[in-house]
Each structure stands twice: as structure tokens, then as C-alpha cells.
Amino acid sequence: MGVRDNKLFAINNTAVLAGLLLFAASCGLLYQLKLDLNNSVQLLAIHMIWLLLLVWFSRGRHTTKQPVVSPFKDAFHTGLEISTMAEQVLKNQYGLMDGELSQVNNLIHDATEKLSISFHTMEEQSRTQENLVKQLISNVTQKANNDENSKSFTEEISGLVTMFSDNINIMSDGSNKLVHAMNKLDERIATIDRFLNEIDGISEQTNLLALNAAIEAARAGDAGRGFSVVADEVRSLSLRSHGFSRQIRDTFKDAKDSMKTASKIVGTMASRDMSMTLQSQNRITELMQDMDALNEEVADKLASTQTISHRIHTAVVDAVKSLQFADMSSQLIAHVQKRIGAIGLYSVQVESVLDSTVPNNESPETSQIDYTIYKEQVMQLSNVMDETVRNKPVSSQEISEQDVELF
Amino acid sequence: MANILVVDDEQNIRNILRDSLVKDNHEVFEACTGIEASAILNSKNIQVLITDLVMPDKTGLELIMEIKEQIPELNIIAISGGGGINGRFDYLPIAQLIGANNIIRKPFSIAEIKQTVANLLHS
């Protein structure tokens, strides 16, 4: 529009200049023709010619200007409206682009922060877990190395149990044999006692017979003297027999007492074995308690390890979510690029429309142009651009918990 | 246990899905475009389709519409970052309407994916 105005302005100025030059030329011509300038009629005629020329040129200028002013004015106003519309559309698009870029920025910022926290947590928990396991191994190893006989815990337990078992078996065996032997001895002693009773009976009867024989011998007088001697010897034998019987009884009594003593000794020995057994049992109990304490410590540490594993798992879940920011961001950025492309195309197309609004002086239809079609064209271009960029890929502003929608 | 097809133009997403599903003894196939996915669905016996919705060439919505006509019994899980049309019409509910059995919004967790797949296979 500006270029054409300048052209027209230059043409108009040229016309005025031409008019002035013509006037000057006519004056010169009149001078050459030696016309009497004092002649008022001639003077008036000359002035009239000059005025007519000037008027003609002025009218010509107006005549040429009037067809130019109307379309320019319409074109100018239409151009202004189109510019305003385009500016509004572009502002809107820039606003949307700014929003989308902010969204990308927030996504990246949020994801980076969460990734950082996740990795820090994983590192920290892994270290804690490592220390726990090291402590556990150290405690178990130390426990094994502190044993007095340099035997392992299990070897000692095993040895004690074996010894305990052997002793019990030996004792049991010995006790059985002893009981059996003592029972047999009791039977024998009872038998011998019966035999001794028999012997005592015989001895008493023999003594009686001897007395009777002595009495008969005394009755017989001198004839019975020899018989009396025999009777006395028999009586003596009877007494001796009774004496032996008593000694045998005493001896067996001693034997029985000895057996009792032996029994007592065995009991004492059994008691001592029992004491050793109890000591071993106490030692086993101590060892089992140590093992329980160790197991408890292991269970405790394992529970801690499990808690740590859970924390690590949670950190990994957060990291997996955060890693998806790349996908979401790239989709958003692609959409922004699409929007930029659409804006660029829109700008070129609007400029083309604006160029076509500038009227052409040489065209006879210039004054009849309906400029509203240009506005409609620009509105149509806005709609096309909106259609191009309406599909937005991501709505999330940050990497956060999302619910699973199941149905 | 099942043949699963994972469709997403982003390699990291496919890796996450593949690694988590393989641990549950599924056989996992991958496609980075809707066209590639169509070819695999026509050649393999797939029980579960997990597809992103925003992809170049053929979108996830187009893929779902096409496949639902050919294989109506196919189980479909649609995933998306929550995009939509003009900020009003969300892609995920649209996917649901056109045939997706389940929808999951990004960012998802591995547990969500595994649970959803398990529920679909059991039902």
C-alpha cells in the first residue's frame, strides 16, 4: 500500500510541476510573440489560460486521487483488522506453546528430582544392607572362632551328645548285669540257708542222739563205757557241725554285706555319671541358648534386610515411573514443533492475504473489491491451524501416582 | 504363560514392559509403530495387546478400532500420557469406548501392568 501511495504522490507532483512549466513556457511564448502584456484583455486571457491549466491539473489530480482513496481506505482498514486478528491468534498460540514448554520443564524437573531421590535411596539402602550382612557374617565367624578346644560349635555338641549316649548305654548295661547277678546270689544264699537249716536240724538231732547214747551208756555201766565215748564224739561232731553252720552263715552274711557295699559303690558311680551327664546337659543347654541367640540375631538382621529390600523396591518403582518422562517430554516437544510449523505456515499465508488486499490502480475493478473475503480467508486459516494442533499428547504436569482404571 | 504384544514408539517404555512381563514367564513381542503391530497381530497368536495411543503413522486408537474388528476376543490395554483433543476429550476414555479392556495412564508402575495383565488373563 505504501509503495503505491508514493507512486501516485510522485505522479501528482509531476503534474503540478508540468503545469507550472507550461505556464512558464506560455509566458515565454507570449514574450516571443511580443504581445502587449499591458493589454488587459491579453493579460486576462493569459491569466485565465494559466488558471484553467492549473484547475485542470488540480482536477486531474483529484480525479486520479478519488478512485485511489476509497480502496486504499478499505484496504487499510481490512489490513488493520486482519493484522489484529492474526496478532490475537498468534498470541494465543504462543501462550499455548509457552504452557506446553512449561509442562515439559515441569516434567523434566519433577522426574529428575524423583530420579535423584530414587538413586540416592537405592544407594543408601544398599549400603545399609551390605553393612548388616557384614555384621552378621562377622558375628557368626567370631562365634565359631571363640570356642576353647578350637572345635566348631556343632562338633562339640555332637561329641557331648555321643558321650552322653554311650555313658547311658554302659550304665544301663552294667546296672542290668548287676541286678541279675545280685538276684542270682540271693537265690543261692537262700538255697544255702536252707541247706544250713537242714544241717542245723541234723546237728540237733545228732546231739540228742548223742545225749541219749550217753545216758544209755551210763545205764550200761562198764559195758557202756566205750559206747559213752562214741556218744561223746558224736556229740562233739554235732557241735562242730553246728559251729561250721554258724560260720558259713556269718560268711554269707559278710558276702551279702559286701554285695550291698558293691551296690552302694555302683550307685555312687552312677551318681557321678549322672553328675557328669547333668554338666554335659547344662553345657548343651548353654550352647543351644547361644545358638538361639545367634538365630535370633540372624532373624533380626534378616528382617531388617527385608525392610531394606522393600525400600529399595519402592525406590526402583519410582525410578521406573520417572524414566517415562523422556517419552512424555518428547511427545510434548514434538507437539510444540508441530505448533511452531503451523504458526509459520499461518504467518506466510496471512502475509499473502495481506499482500492481495493492496489495490491495483490500473485495475478498473479496484473500487469494487469486497474486503470482507480477505478477513474470512484469514479466519479460515486460523481454523485450519487450530485443527492441526488440536491433538495434544500429554496432560500430566508431573511424574506422580496414577490410578489404574479397571472395568 | 501368554503371548503379549507391546506397542510403543519409545524404546525405554518397551524395555520396561518387556522386562517386567518376561519375569512373569510371558512371551513378549514388540512393535514400535501401529503398522508393525498389525503385521505381528496377523501372524502371531497374541492374547494381550498393550498399546500406546500417541504414535506416528497409525495411532493407538486406529489400531484398536482395526484390531477389534478382526480379533474381537483380543484383550487390549491402552496406555497414554493423558493427552486429548483440544484439552477436553481425553484419549483414554475414547480408547475404552472403542474396545480397550483396560486403560492405564502414564507414568505407570510395573505392579500396575502386571496386575492388569494377570486380571485379564484370569478373567
**Dihedral sign from CA coordinates of B78, B79, B83, B89:** positive
| Chain A CB within 8 Å of residue B76 CB | no
pLDDT at A22: 65
pLDDT of residue A257: 80
C-alpha cell at A105: 520443564
Which has the minimum average pLDDT: A49-58, A87-96, A383-392? A49-58
The sheet with strand B82-85 has its strands ordered as A391-394, B82-85, B89-90
B75-80 sheet: strands from edge to edge: A404-405, B102-105, B75-80, B48-52, B3-7, B27-31
What pLDDT does residue A114 have? 84
Residue A38 has pLDDT above 80, yes or no: no
Residue A123 to residue A319: CA distance in whole angstroms:
13
Contacts of A130 (CB under 8 A, 6+ apart): none
Confidence of residue A244 (pLDDT cuts 50, 70, 90): confident
Listed residue (B66, B9, B64, B6) closest to B32, CA to CA = B9
CA distances from A407 to A197, A380, A404, B120 (A): 109, 42, 10, 10
User: Alpha-carbon distance A78 to A69, whole Å?
Assistant: 14
Question: Cβ A395–B87 below 8 Å, yes or no?
Answer: yes
CB-based contact A306:A134 (threshold 8 Å): no
C-alpha A128/C-alpha B20 separation (Å) is: 26
Yes or no, beta carbons of B83 and A331 under 8 Å apart: yes
pLDDT at residue B26 greater than cutoff 90? yes
| A360 pLDDT tier (thresholds 50, 70, 90) | low
Vertex A156 angle, CA A151 and A161, to 5°: 160
**CA–CA dist A126, B119 (Å, integer):** 33
Is the pLDDT at A383 greater than 80? The verdict is yes
* CA dihedral angle for residue A219, residue A225, residue A231, residue A234, rounded to 10 degrees: 180
Pair B110, B79: CB distance under 8 Å = no
Helix or strand run (H / E) with residue A10: helix A2-32
Between B13, B84, B115, which is nearest A327 by CB?
A: B13
Beta-carbon contacts of residue A305 (< 8 Å; ≥ 6 apart):
A129, A132, A133
CA distance A281 to A275: 10
Buried-exposed string A207-217: b where 16+ CB fall within 10 A, e elsewhere = beebeebbeeb
> What value does the mean pLDDT take over residues B21-45?
93
Q: What are the pLDDT digits (tens) for B60-115?
A: 999 999 999 999 999 999 998 877 766 666 888 889 989 999 999 988 888 899 99
Q: Rounded to an integer, what distance in angstroms lies between the CA atom of residue A339 and that of residue A351?
A: 18
Helix (H, G, I), strand (E, B) or coil at B83: strand
By the 10 Å C-beta count (0-12 exposed, 13-18 middle, 19+ buried), B92 is classed as buried
Please give the average per-residue pLDDT across A188-204, as a whole number: 85
Residues of B in contact with A321 (CB under 8 A): 107-109
Q: Which among A88, A91, A92, A66 is positioned nearest to A375, based on CA atoms? A: A88
Percent of the residues in chain A that have a pLDDT greater than 90, as a whole number: 0
* 8 A C-beta contact, residue A64 and residue A12: yes
Q: How far is A406 from chain B, CA to nearest CA, in Å?
A: 6
User: CB distance A390–B106 less than 8 Å?
Assistant: no
**Is B109 in contact with A403 (Cβ distance < 8 A)?**
no
Distance (Å, whole) CA B115 – CA B77:
12
What is the grid cell recorded at A271?
551318681
Q: How far apart are CA B29 and CA B40, in angstroms?
A: 8
Q: For residues A78 and A371, is the Cβ–Cβ distance under 8 A?
A: yes
Q: Using N-to-C axis directions, what is the helix angle for A325-357 and A372-388, rounded to 10°? A: 170
Are the Cβ atoms of B107 and A402 closer than 8 angstroms? yes
Select the residue from B54, B102, B104 to test the A interface by mutation, using most A Cβ atoms within 10 A.
B54
Above 70 in pLDDT, residue A367? no
Q: Give the position of cell 524395555.
A: B15
pLDDT surpasses 90 at A78:
no
For A280-290, write each residue's pLDDT tens digit: 778 878 877 88
Binning pLDDT at 50, 70 and 90, where does residue A70 land? Answer: low
pLDDT value at residue A39: 60
By Cβ distance, the residue of A321, A326, A406 closest to B119 is A406
Which has the minimum average pLDDT: A122-131, A151-160, A182-191? A151-160
Q: What is the pLDDT of residue B89?
A: 67
What is the reported pLDDT for B3?
Answer: 95
Longest dimension (CA), chain B: 41
Q: What is the pLDDT of residue A309?
A: 87
CB < 8 Å to A395, chain B: 81-84, 87, 90
Cis bond leading into B107, ω under 30°?
Answer: yes
Q: Is B87 left (phi over 0), alpha (psi -120 to 50) or beta?
A: left
pLDDT-derived band at A31, boundaries 50, 70, 90: low
State the Cα–Cα distance between residues B7 and B5, nearest whole angstrom.
6
Report whether A394 contacts B107 (CB < 8 A).
no
Sign of CA dihedral A362, A364, A365, A371: positive
Q: Which residues of A touch B92 (CB under 8 A)?
A: 405
Alpha helices in A33-152 (DSSP H): 40-145
The stretch A376-405 carries a mean pLDDT of 72
Higher-confidence position of A51 and A279: A279
Q: How many CB atoms lie within 10 A of CB A343?
A: 18
- Give me the pLDDT at residue A8, please: 47
**pLDDT at residue A30, rounded to an integer:** 60
Residue A44: pLDDT band (50, 70, 90) is low
For residue A332, how many other CB atoms are within 10 A of its CB?
A: 23
| CA–CA distance, B111 with A403 (Å, rounded to integer) | 11
ipTM: 0.76
